[in-house]
Structure 1
Amino acid sequence: MPVALRERPLPIVEVPSPPPALSADIYRLRLSTLCRRAHEQQLDTLVVWGDREHSANLAYLTGFDPRFEEAMLILDTAGQHAPRLLVGNECLGYAPDPAIGIEVELWQDLSLMGQPRDRSRSLRDIFVSAGVNDGSRVGCIGWKAYSTLLIGGGSSSPIDLPAFVVDLLRSLVGGGEVNNATDLLMSVDGGLRTINEPEQIQHFEYAACVSSTGMMSLLQHVRVGVREDELERHLDSKGLTLSCHRMVGFGEKARRGLASASAKEAARGDALTTAFGVAGALTCRAGAVANGPHEMPDAIREFSSRMFANYVEVVRAWYGTLSLGATGGEVFAAADEARDPSLFDFALNPGHYLHLDEWVNSPFSRDSTVALCSGMVLQADIIPVSRGPFCYVNLEDGVALADESLRERLRALDASLMRRVERRRRYMIDELGYVLDDCVLPLGNTSGWLAPYVTKLSLALVHE
C-alpha cells in the first residue's frame, strides 16, 4: 500500500481531568506479588534502590519518588517484618501513603552532604532488624540487569546499588548470597512492570494526553526564525513528573537528538526533532521546517521524501502486527521487512515497554519469542538512521494492549477514556490508513499521525 502526502484534518487533542490517585490496595497487591515471586526464588530479603534518575521501580511499589536524595525499600519476602522505606532528611515529609503499610525510617546518610546526621541508627542495625543475617539470600533491585559478558569478569550477578550497600549486605549474609533481582520487575518476559492494571493504564492515558497535547502545541508554533527555547515552553507537563528532559533541536543540532533547547533559530529546510516525556508517556516528532518537499534543500529533497514515506510504511507495519499472542520477533520482522535498507537503518529496537520510566525493556528484537499480552503498554519508538544525506523523521506514541475483558474493565472504570481511544482508532484507520487489531488502544491524541513538513501540519503521510 503506497504512502502519500495528503490533506487531512488534524487529530483532536484534549487533556481530560486527572484520574484519582492509585489506591493503597493496588500498592499492597504489588508488594505482596513481588514478595511472593521473590520467595519462590528462595530470596529472603529484597532491597530496592531509588534516586532521582532511577525511581520507577520504587515508585511502582510505593507511589514515592525521592527528591534531592536517594531512598531504599527493604522487603522481607516471608512477611515477618513490615516493609521499611529509608529516606533522608528532605524526603521524610514526602513519604508514601501510610495506608500502604510501609514503615518510614530516617537514615540520614541518604541526605545531602553537610546536613545533620544525628538522628539515625546504623545501616547495619537496620538490615539486621529486617532479618538479614548469616545465610540470608538477598535480592537487590536497582534499575538494570547486566551482561556479565560485557563487564568481563567479577560477579556473576552484577549489582548497581552503591558499593557501601552491597558490601555491607555481603558481610552480613556470610555464606548466603547477594544478587541482582531487578528482573523480577523488569524482565522482558514476565517482569511485573510489563503488565498493568486498568487504573495504571488510566493514568498512562492521561499522561499521553498531556504529552501529545504539549507536542501538538509546539508543532503549531514552528516557523522560520522561532527559537528552540521559545517552543519548549509549549511542553506543559501539568505537574506530572518528567521521564526525560524536554528536547528541541533544529538543523545540524538535530543529529544530537537528546539535546535540550537553546537559543538556536529555525531556518527553512532545517531538520527538527522534539520529544516530551512525562511519567507514563512520551511523544516525539521529527521532520523538516518546510511547507512541503518544494522547500527542502536540493541535496536532500528527493531522498528525504522517500525516507519519510518509507518510515511511515514501517510504522504502519509495526502497528498492524500488534496482536495478543504475536511475538516481539514477529513485530520486529514485519517492521524490518517494510524498511527500505537503502534509506535507513534502525538505531535501536523498534519499540519497547513503556511505564513510569520511558524504557523498561524491549520484546522487539530479531527472533524474540516473547508473546504480547493484555495489559502491556508499548511505545512505538522506531528511530531511523539515514543511509544517505542527513535528514530526520520520527513518530513516537504509546499504546496499550487489552483483551475484551480488560477493555470492559477500562470502560467500567472510565467510559470517557474508551470513547477517546475509539475516536483515535477511527482516525488512524479512516484518515491515515492504519490496520489495527481490536486489542490496540492508542493512548495519545496524536497516535500514528505524522506531518513531516511541520510548518504545514495539514499535510500528513497516509496509506492509500
Structure 2
Amino acid sequence: MSCVKIVNTDQFFFEEQNVPRPIFEEKDYQVRIDRLLKEIKSDGLDFVVIYGDREHFANIEYFSSYDCRFEEGLLIISREGEKSIVTGNEGYAYSFQIPYEIKRYLYQNFSLQGQPRNKSNDLDSVLRSVGLNKKSKIGVVGYKYFYEDEKHIFDLPQYIMETLYDVGDKDNIINYTNVLTGLDRGIRLKITTAKEVAWAEYQAIKCCGVVKRIICNLREGITESEAAQCGRADFSPISMFGLVNFGPKNVSIGLRSGDDTRLHVGEVCGICYAIRGSLCSRNAIAAYDFDSCNSKLKERIEDFYMEYWKAVATWLESVKVNESAGIVYDKVMSIIGDARFNVALNPGHNTATDEWVNSPFYKNSKYKICSGSYFQSDMIASSNDPVMSAICEDTVIVADENLRSEINKEYPELYARILRRQTKMRNLLGINVDDSLLPMCNFTGAYFPFVLNPKVMFKKNN
C-alpha cells in the first residue's frame, strides 16, 4: 500500500495573496558589493570584470539592478570599491536606474547590429580609462566556470578576452565566476538579509498565482494559449518561457511554448511559469478522477505519480540547515532513481534572478546545506510508454535561527505567513518540514494528480 493518499484540498492552497514588493536600494546593493570586495582583497585582485548579455544578466544585476537588455555589458568593480558600467546605445540610458553613483562608459559595439557606432571609443580605451593596465590582477566573471580548469577557461566572447589580454597581462587574468556561483564560495548562492527573503516571497506568490489561476480555469477543449491567458501574468521580467502543454506529444517535448492545441480529458498536461526569483510548475493528468484518466495512465497513479510525490515530500522534509546535500540526493533517488522515472537532472537546485544557478544535489555531494540557501524543489520524472510527466516545483529558502529571527523582527507579517505555511504543510500534506525550511508561497508541495479537479490532492499517509 502506498504511503500517499488522495484527500480533499483545503482552500488555504488557493488563497489569493497580495504582499508589498520590497525595493532594493543603494544600501542593499552595497551589502552585496562589500561581500565581493572582501573576496577580491582576499584573492589579491585589483579588478573584477563582470560580463552580461540578455540571457546572462544575473551576475551584473545582482550588484547593480542593471540587467542587460538587447546588448552585452560589463560591470567593473575595483578593489577600492569604484564601480563602472560599460553599455551599448540603448543600455546607456537604462543604466540610470542603478541606485548609486557609477561611472558610465559607452561602447557602441555592444549595441545591436546596424546601430550607430560613431560616438564611442574602442573597448581597449574604455578599459584603460577605468584603470586596467599591465600590472592589474583581474578576475573575469562570465556565466560558467569549467571543472577541468576553473581559472583559465573562459566563456566570454573572444573579442572581449583578447582586449583584456591586450590591456592587461594574460598571466594576471583568471576566471572568477566560481566566486559568484560556485558551490564552495558562491556569493550569489546565499541570501543574507530578511529583505532578500521578503523579495523572494513576493516573487514566489506572484509566480504561483499565475499557475493557480490557470489550473482553476482548465476545462475540456480549452487551448494551450487560452489557458495561458487565464493566468493573468503581468509584464514582470521572466527567468524562463512560460509553458502550457496538453497531450503526450507536447508534454514529452518539454520546453515548448503553447499554441492552439486543445485539452483532452484523460491525457497528460503540464503548466510552468517563472519570473526572476521563482518558478512554479505542475505536470499531472488532465482528468477529474481515476475513471476519467485514460486506461494506461489510470494504472500508473500509484506506482508513478504517488511515488513521485513521495519523493517531493521527502526532499521537502530532508532539506534543512547543515544537512548533507548528498544525503538528500540519496533519499530522493532511492524513491525515483530507477528507470520508471527517468530522472536525468539534479533533484533540486539553487535559484535567484536566473532560474538555475547551480546545484549541490548530486551523488556523493560533499556540500552541506547552509543558511541562506535559495532552492527550487525541482524534480522531473518522465516516461515514454505511456508518456507521463510528474512535476511539483516550488521555491524555498533555508534559514537558521539568526536569519529567522531577523525576518521576524523586520517583517513580522512575512514570518507569520511562513509559520502558517509550515503548519499547513505538516497538517494538510503530512510533510514534516524542518523549522529551517521556509516555504515562499502557500502552494509549496501541493500536488493535484487530476488537475481538472483541484479539489483533491495528495497527502502523506503518516
Shorter-chain TM-score tier: over 0.9
* Aligned residue in 2 for 1:399: 396
Q: Does 1:354 align with 2:351?
A: yes
After superposition, residues 326-345 of structure 1 pair within 5 angstroms as 326-339=323-336, 341=338, 343-345=340-342
After superposition, residues 11-410 of structure 1 pair within 5 angstroms as 11-79=13-81, 82-97=82-97, 99-148=99-148, 157-174=152-169, 176-196=171-191, 197-251=193-247, 252-339=249-336, 341=338, 343-386=340-383, 388-410=385-407
Instruction: Report how far residue 114 of structure 1 moved.
Output: 2.0
Instruction: Report how far residue 382 of structure 1 moved.
Output: 0.5
1:8 is matched by which residue type in structure 2? T
Instruction: Report how far residue 96 of structure 1 moved.
Output: 4.6
Instruction: Report how far residue 4 of structure 1 moved.
Output: 1.1
Query: Do the aligned partners of 1:56 and 1:357 also contact (CA within 8 Å) in 2?
Result: yes
Instruction: Report how far residue 9 of structure 1 moved.
Output: 1.6
RMSD of aligned alpha carbons: 1.8
Alpha-carbon distance in structure 1 between the residues aligned to 2:144 and 2:303:
38
- Distance change >3 Å, CA 264–CA 98, structure 1 → 2: closer
- Which runs of structure 1 show a deviation greater than 4 angstroms over 4 or more consecutive aligned residues? 96-99
* Aligned residue in 2 for 1:6: 7
- Report which stretch shifted further, 276-285 or 184-193: 184-193
Alpha-carbon distance in structure 2 between the residues aligned to 1:17 and 1:320:
26
TM-score under structure 1 length normalisation: 0.94
Q: Does 1:419 align with 2:420?
A: no
After superposition, residues 446-457 of structure 1 pair within 5 angstroms as 446-457=443-454
Query: Do the aligned partners of 1:210 and 1:238 also contact (CA within 8 Å) in 2?
Result: no
- Report which stretch shifted further, 139-148 or 260-269: 139-148
2:51 is matched by which residue type in structure 1? W
1:338 is matched by which residue type in structure 2? I
| SS class of match (1:100) | coil
Q: What does the per-residue CA deviation read over 1:117-168, in whole Å, with 9 as the maximum and x for residues that have no partner?
A: 222122111212223222433221111112438xxxxx97221111111011
Alpha-carbon distance in structure 1 between the residues aligned to 2:301 and 2:135:
62
| SS class of match (2:304) | helix
Q: Matched residues, percent identical?
A: 28
Alpha-carbon distance in structure 2 between the residues aligned to 1:418 and 1:192:
24
Query: Do the aligned partners of 1:15 and 1:206 also contact (CA within 8 Å) in 2?
Result: no
Gaps of 5+ in 2: none
Instruction: Report how far residue 230 of structure 1 moved.
Output: 0.4
Alpha-carbon distance in structure 1 between the residues aligned to 2:104 and 2:166:
25
Instruction: Report how far residue 342 of structure 1 moved.
Output: 5.5
Q: What does the per-residue CA deviation read over 1:302-352, in whole Å, with 9 as the maximum and x for residues that have no partner?
A: 124320100111011111111211011011111112337253132200001
Instruction: Report how far residue 43 of structure 1 moved.
Output: 2.4
| SS class of match (1:226) | coil
Instruction: Report how far residue 458 of structure 1 moved.
Output: 1.1
Q: What does the per-residue CA deviation read over 1:38-61, in whole Å, with 9 as the maximum and x for residues that have no partner?
A: 232232221111111111111101
Query: Do the aligned partners of 1:213 and 1:445 also contact (CA within 8 Å) in 2?
Result: no
- Report which stretch shifted further, 89-98 or 18-27: 89-98
2:89 is matched by which residue type in structure 1? N
- Distance change >3 Å, CA 146–CA 463, structure 1 → 2: same
Gaps of 5+ in 1: 150-154
- Distance change >3 Å, CA 412–CA 240, structure 1 → 2: farther
Alpha-carbon distance in structure 1 between the residues aligned to 2:43 and 2:417:
42
Alpha-carbon distance in structure 1 between the residues aligned to 2:204 and 2:419:
15
| SS class of match (1:90) | helix
- Report which stretch shifted further, 101-110 or 393-402: 101-110
In the alignment of these two chains, the number of paired residues is 457
- Distance change >3 Å, CA 458–CA 74, structure 1 → 2: same
- Report which stretch shifted further, 292-301 or 182-191: 292-301
2:257 is matched by which residue type in structure 1? S
| SS class of match (1:283) | strand
Instruction: Report how far residue 97 of structure 1 moved.
Output: 4.6
Q: What does the per-residue CA deviation read over 1:14-56, in whole Å, with 9 as the maximum and x for residues that have no partner?
A: 3323323112012122123213202322322211111111111
- Distance change >3 Å, CA 189–CA 148, structure 1 → 2: closer
Q: What does the per-residue CA deviation read over 1:223-254, in whole Å, with 9 as the maximum and x for residues that have no partner?
A: 11010000111334434210011111111210
TM-score under structure 2 length normalisation: 0.94
